[in-house]
Structure 1
Amino acid sequence: MNARSALLPLNVVVAGSTSAAGRAVVEALVGIGARVAAVDLDPAGVESLAETHEEVVPYVCNLADLSAVGNLADSIRADLGPVDGLIHLVGGWRGGDGIRGQKDEDWEVLHTSVLTTLRNTSRTFYPDLEASPSGRMAIVSAVAASQPTASGAAYAAIKAASEAWVLGMADGFRRAQSGHKDEPKEQTSAAAIFVVKALVDETMRTEAPHRAFPGYTDVSELADHVSALFSAPASELNGTRQHLV
């Protein structure tokens, strides 16, 4: 796959685009001139994003199905061209009563919704990201990944595994773009992790006006950091864990 010209508009896939965080990220990316492939299981939600922003193209896909993700990638490439960015915002929370209260069904939900969707999308779009002059991949992780509790052990383990996967991608970008010792190359692609305690949005504040949400990260702040990925040097971003707490 040939690298795209840096002068062309960015094509960014936002997986999990209809959440409050997803909508904020989509808006921020449109704000920097990107074309966004808004992906979700919610047809009405992605259609709403496309109606709100001319630069957004809606796609409905079960990201836990690798073959479906392959078809999605074919459609996005046909509609927009090669992909420059993948922002993975698919997630969920399941907890239990201590270690013995960690249920198998909760583990399966977390494994499928968080880790499987990450693996499927990142493997599928990896060639595009590696070839792009501005390839960027990012996930939102949690403080719990490195500070797990017994009640949230399954969630923390899945988040830690997701971080390890992204760091593996970062190593792949680094190795592919390092060049030879005598002919070093500029790094153009990066994989990064945003670490939060939890996310908060205006709807949550309205529904709980007396709650302070200490340590929470507003979705608008996350969105600003996501859009800033594409203007920062890849060599400085690649493999980083950026704490937004």
Structure 2
Amino acid sequence: MPSTATVDFTDTVAIVTGASGALGSAAVDRFREVGATVCALDVVAPDSEDAQLEPGEGYHFYEADLTDEDEVESVIDEIVDDHGRIDHLLNIAGTWRGGDHIEETDLEEFDLLLDINLKTAFLTSKHVLPHLQEREGSIVSVSARSGLEGGEGDGPYRITKAGIKILTETLAEENRGTVRANCVLPSVIDTPMNREMMPESDHDTWVDPREIADVMAVLCSDAASVTSGAAVPVYGEA
């Protein structure tokens, strides 16, 4: 009879990108709770006014622009030098912009979303993969429910999140039997920024970042050892 799998990341090293944001900081806390050595990556330091990652001990912070390949390569090398291994990668770095139809969308806004939402995940995955392959590790990235179809007013955001889903499926196919790759599909995440941008919305239907972090932990664990290439809904009550 199979044993019951538990979430225990003792003696493993997890990288969390976008760690200073609401979901990133929740993932840092969750993976710390289950024993991982957490390497928190962000261009925003914990002592910044905009950071939601509490300064202090319990994780290792690395400041890096993950849209710059040289910086990505350098920070991954630094993490391996410091900790000797990488077991889990959580691609959480991302942002939202919307409101305009395609013909009214500035190229700068499109480029911003492409860089932060998709390029960061591509570059970090690229440079972490050789280390994950050594450990038979896992990747969990953040796509979005809205990335499953087109919609009005936030096309570039949807395009980048659809790209995350395809990146995930590609990583899973190319690393079958060695590295598992999955993604989560949140609806609207309950963050201070989203509340500020959408003050009239029903916030009770939004999904709590801590609940998404729980799902990400399970996807990295032995409980999901046979799961790769999946896009997992995390919609809350939306």
TM-score range, shorter chain: 0.7 to 0.9
Are 2:234 and 1:230 equivalent residues in the alignment?
A: no
Partner of residue 184, structure 2: 194
Q: How does 1:62-211 map to 2 (within 5 A)?
A: 62-133=65-136, 135-174=137-176, 177=177, 189-201=179-191, 211=201
User: Which stretches in structure 1 are left out of the alignment for 5+ residues?
Assistant: 1-5, 178-187
Q: 1:48 to 1:163 in 2, by over 3 A?
A: closer
Alpha-carbon distance between aligned partners in 1 of 2:73 and 2:95, rounded to the nearest angstrom: 23
Kept in 2: contact 1:196–1:216 (CA 8 A): no
Alpha-carbon deviations, 1:179-236, whole Å to 9, x = none? xxxxxxxxx5311110011111479779999852254211010111122223235553
Within the candidate set 207, 212, 218, 1:217 is matched to 207
Identity %: 26
Q: 1:142 to 1:214 in 2, by over 3 A?
A: farther
Larger radius of gyration: 1
Q: Could you tell me the TM-score, scaled by structure 1's length?
A: 0.83
Q: Could you tell me the TM-score, scaled by structure 2's length?
A: 0.85
Alpha-carbon distance between aligned partners in 1 of 2:181 and 2:175, rounded to the nearest angstrom: 8
Q: For 1:138, what is the secondary structure of its paired residue?
A: strand
Alpha-carbon deviations, 1:26-67, whole Å to 9, x = none? 00000100001011112244999585342x111000101111
Alpha-carbon distance between aligned partners in 1 of 2:167 and 2:208, rounded to the nearest angstrom: 25
User: Which stretches in structure 2 are left out of the alignment for 5+ residues?
Assistant: 1-7
Alpha-carbon deviations, 1:77-132, whole Å to 9, x = none? 01111110110111111224323122211111011111111111000001111221
Alpha-carbon distance between aligned partners in 2 of 1:7 and 1:198, rounded to the nearest angstrom: 28
Q: 1:45 to 1:229 in 2, by over 3 A?
A: farther
Kept in 2: contact 1:18–1:45 (CA 8 A): no
Alpha-carbon distance between aligned partners in 2 of 1:158 and 1:100, rounded to the nearest angstrom: 18
Stretch moving more, 118-127 or 208-217: 208-217
Alpha-carbon distance between aligned partners in 1 of 2:148 and 2:9, rounded to the nearest angstrom: 39
Partner of residue 241, structure 1: 231
Q: 1:7 to 1:111 in 2, by over 3 A?
A: closer
Alpha-carbon distance between aligned partners in 2 of 1:156 and 1:210, rounded to the nearest angstrom: 22
Are 2:20 and 1:18 equivalent residues in the alignment?
A: yes
Partner of residue 180, structure 1: none
Task: Return the offset for 1:71.
Answer: 0.6
Letter in 1 for 2:83: L
Query: How many residue pairs end up in the alignment?
Result: 226
Task: Return the offset for 1:73.
Answer: 0.8
Structure 1 consecutive aligned stretches of length 4 or more whose deviation exceeds 6 Å:
202-210
Q: 1:230 to 1:95 in 2, by over 3 A?
A: closer
Are 2:45 and 1:52 equivalent residues in the alignment?
A: no
Kept in 2: contact 1:21–1:89 (CA 8 A): yes
Q: For 2:60, what is the secondary structure of its paired residue?
A: strand
Q: 1:67 to 1:223 in 2, by over 3 A?
A: same
Q: CA RMSD in A?
A: 2.7
